[in-house]
Amino acid sequence: MSWRNKLAGEVDDPMVAEALRNFKASVDAWSDAAYSRPRAGFTAARRTWRLAATLAMGCLLVAGSVTAAVVERHHQQELAHEAAIKAAAQKAALEPAPAAQPADSNVQVPNVRTDAAAQPAAASATNEDADLLATVDRDVSREVPAAMDPLAQLMNENGSN
Amino acid sequence: MPDSPLLDSRSIRHENECREPVNLRLMDTSTKSMAAGTAVKPLTVEAAEAIAAHDFAGIVESHRPQIFRFLLASLRDVDLAETLTQECFLKAHRNWKHFRGDSSAMTWLMRIAINLQKDHWRNRRLQFWRRTQANAVDVDEASEWLPNGERNAEQQILAREQVAQVWKAVGSLSGRQRTVFLLRYVEERELSEIAEATGLSEGTVKAHLSRALSRVRAELRGKR
């Protein structure tokens, strides 16, 4: 039985009947469209999965950032430590060594100034010391006879005899 | 009739409904067996439960769109209608054993849906924020849904206006009037079925329908 025939006795006004028919068609169309859309359960599951993925990505990002920051900080600390060691070594090298007086009183060792500005002067003084020591060694070696000289003289004497 | 738990309880119901192919086949077989004078092998409890579950799945498949449509028209909220439809079938599944088949499955399901809807409105009154009201679609949006058919643009606009006016009139009805109106003019239920689903007498149903129609008529004429 059609809708029109079924309700013909109840709705005598054709305009109301038409409106009711349109109303039913509208509700049917809306219901069909809403019923055939993806179920809320699936949508919720998809939303949950997306939320979990976003959270995981966020955690990964935060962990990566923190790790990078820690590594960078550690690297900076190592560099600072190395620089400090180097500076301390330089400082120790530039500090005046305990004054070792040479055995020879003729040798004059110039005083090394402790400040860093006097570094070229200290270097030139060291060179002078080295030259002086070389001169002393040469003089001393001249006074010592050559090792083969006595034997050579003996041979000469035997030959002449 | 043999002493089978299934045929004892279910076949009576399906004599009324005659919708489920499984039981129809079963009844057919048993009738033939009886006619041939052979003994019918009684079903086990597991088999009976499996067939009952299959029955219920068929009921869900065939009646779910109608229940959803009724709830959607009543609430104008797609999400809420889906939720209440699920609750309706959950409740029906729990009470499936107690369904005696006095009425059709559709009437029984409709009664559950009406009660759920009443519970929802009752609970909603206690809510301060009234979140569901915010989710409900307004009249203009609801009247957007209209099949094109063979109408021209002018007829489409006219039909849309009419639908909006009917929605407005439905919105001004009392809960009971709205239920009766929707069951009659959207679900096309018989007056006796409406009376059974709502728990009202047929006379009361007619009175509610008459008032609802008067309201719709007044709305349509007022906007003319």
pLDDT at B16: 41
Q: Which of A11, A26, A32 sits opposite B163 (nearest CB)?
A: A26
B187-196, pLDDT tens digit by residue?
A: 888 899 999 9
Query: pLDDT by residue (tens digit) across A71-84?
Result: 999 999 999 999 99
Interface with chain B: mutation pick from A7, A23, A24, highest number of B CBs within 10 Å: A23
Structure token pair of residue B126: 């206690």
In a domain, B148, yes or no: yes
Q: Please indicate, yes or no, if residue B89 is contained in any of the structural domains.
A: no
Q: For residue B129, tell me if it sits in a domain.
A: no
Could you tell me if B195 and B202 are in contact, meaning their C-beta atoms sit under 8 angstroms apart?
A: yes
**Domain presence at residue B167:** yes
- Does any domain span residue B151? yes
B203 CB within 8 Å of a chain A CB: no
As for how many domains chain B has, the answer is 1
Amino acid letter, residue B71: L
What is the percentage of chain A residues whose pLDDT exceeds 90?
21
pLDDT at site B178 = 93
Q: Is B97 contained in some domain?
A: no
CB pairs under 8 A between A and B: 79
pLDDT for position B31? 43
Q: What pLDDT is recorded for position A76? A: 93
Which chain A residue is nearest to residue B167, measuring alpha carbons? Answer: A23
Share of chain B above pLDDT 90, in %: 24
Where residue B49 falls among pLDDT bands split at 50, 70, 90?
A: low
Least confident of A25-29, A54-58, A152-156, B201-205: A152-156
Tokens of B43: 């079903």
b/e per residue, B57-77, with b = 16+ CB within 10 A?
Answer: ebbbeebbebbbbbbbbbbbb
Residue B27 domain flag? no
Say if residues B10 and B55 touch (Cβ distance below 8 Å).
yes
Do B165 and A35 count as a contact with CB atoms less than 8 A apart?
no
| Chain A residues in contact with B69 (beta carbon < 8 A) | 27-28, 31, 35
CB contact, 8 Å: B73 with chain A? Answer: yes
User: Looking at the predicted complex, does its ipTM rise above 0.90?
Assistant: no
Which domain, by its residues, includes B147? 138-224
Cα–Cα distances in angstroms (integers) from residue B197 to residues A28, B61, B80, B115, B148, in the given order? 21, 20, 21, 10, 33
Smallest Cβ distance to A19: which of B81, B162, B184?
Answer: B162
Q: Which residues of B touch A27 (CB under 8 A)?
A: 69, 72-73, 145, 186
Give every CB contact of residue B170 below 8 A, 6+ residues apart in sequence. Answer: B73, B178, B181, B182, B212, B216
User: pTM score, two decimals?
Assistant: 0.54
Is 60 exceeded by the pLDDT of residue A110? no
The tokens describing B141, both together, are 């949006």
The predicted pLDDT at position B154 comes to 80
pLDDT of residue A112 exceeding 90: no
- H helices present in A9-161, as ranges: 14-35, 40-94, 119-143, 149-160
At residue B20, does pLDDT exceed 80?
Answer: no
What pLDDT, in 10s, does the model give residues B146-187?
A: 776 667 778 888 888 888 999 999 989 988 999 999 999 998
Kindly state whether A140 is in contact with chain B, defined as any CB-CB distance less than 8 angstroms.
Answer: no
A31 touches chain B (CB under 8 A): yes
- At B216, which CATH number? 1.10.10.10
Tell me which chain A residues have a C-beta less than 8 angstroms from the C-beta of B184.
Answer: 7
DSSP state of A116: G
Closest residue, chain A, to B83 (C-alpha): A40
Give A10's Cβ-side CA count (13 Å radius): 25
Å from B153 to nearest chain A CA?
A: 15
B145 with A7: Cβ contact below 8 A: no
Q: Would B103 be classed as within a structural domain?
A: no
